[in-house]
Structure 1
Amino acid sequence: MDSMAVQEFSRTLFNMRPDIALSLVQTIFLSYTRHILSHVTVPCHIIQSMKDLAVPVVVSEYLHQNLGGESIVEVVPTGGHLPQLRSPDILIPVLLNHIRYSIADLE
């Protein structure tokens, strides 16, 4: 939590106007898109934090099982919903691996 990125994200989050924050939360939590997952046919690399209180690991497994194309799930050993801010040292190698190789190479 000491990184500048996390501090800046927190600052902007807490400075958000309440009406905009409410609209954003409603959009996130009231959007129901499960019925269109089967239409997503591009290969997907799903990267999931091991301890994400907002989105548990079962959600990434659900996506993996219900997407219309090939997918792979990689659970990274970090916590939080924004691993790119909290643990970039863990996430960057995972992202580079996914950029370099196709899903078929990772399975």
Structure 2
Amino acid sequence: MVFGGDMKSPTVHKFSYTLFNMRQDIALSVFQTFVQRNLRGVLGRVTMLCHILQSTKDLAVPVVVSEYIHQHLDGESIVEVKPSKGHLLLLSSPYIIIPVLLCHIRK
């Protein structure tokens, strides 16, 4: 459900395999770090251009979080909400991510 993509995709399968074969104590520690970490205080120190891509159906992070980040960054930022599922767009919708990355690489 978090991936939102094709669970038969080799990339998603490899990522899932790695994730589910992690030692439970390490997996719990990593998960707690992500969930409990509050980085809102450092957003104002980010001064470079940020391109924020958000999935319309992200079970982990709602769209309002992207808007919050956009409003609190010190540098210029762009928010794009894409019609896709999942939190990890790189795995679930690479066709969305690749053009954005290529655009920024060319700049």
With normalisation by structure 1, the TM-score equals 0.86
CA distance in 2, matches of 1:62, 1:98: 22
In the TM superposition, residue 5 of structure 1 has moved relative to its aligned partner by 0.1
Match of 1:64 in 2: 70
Q: May I ask how many residue pairs the two structures share in their alignment? A: 101
The farther-off stretch of 16-25 and 83-92 is 83-92
The farther-off stretch of 4-13 and 35-44 is 35-44
Any stretches of 5+ residues in structure 1 without a counterpart? 102-107
In the TM superposition, residue 97 of structure 1 has moved relative to its aligned partner by 2.8
* Contact 1:76 1:91 (8 Å CA) reproduced: no
Match of 1:104 in 2: none
Match of 1:5 in 2: 11
CA distance in 2, matches of 1:90, 1:69: 23
1:52 aligns with 2:58: yes
CA distance in 2, matches of 1:86, 1:46: 16
In the TM superposition, residue 6 of structure 1 has moved relative to its aligned partner by 0.3
Any stretches of 5+ residues in structure 2 without a counterpart? 1-5
Post-superposition CA distance 1:53-101 (Å, at most 9, x none): 1011111100000011111101122110111111112321232234335
* Higher relative contact order structure (alpha carbons within 8 Å, sequence separation ≥ 6): 2
With normalisation by structure 2, the TM-score equals 0.86
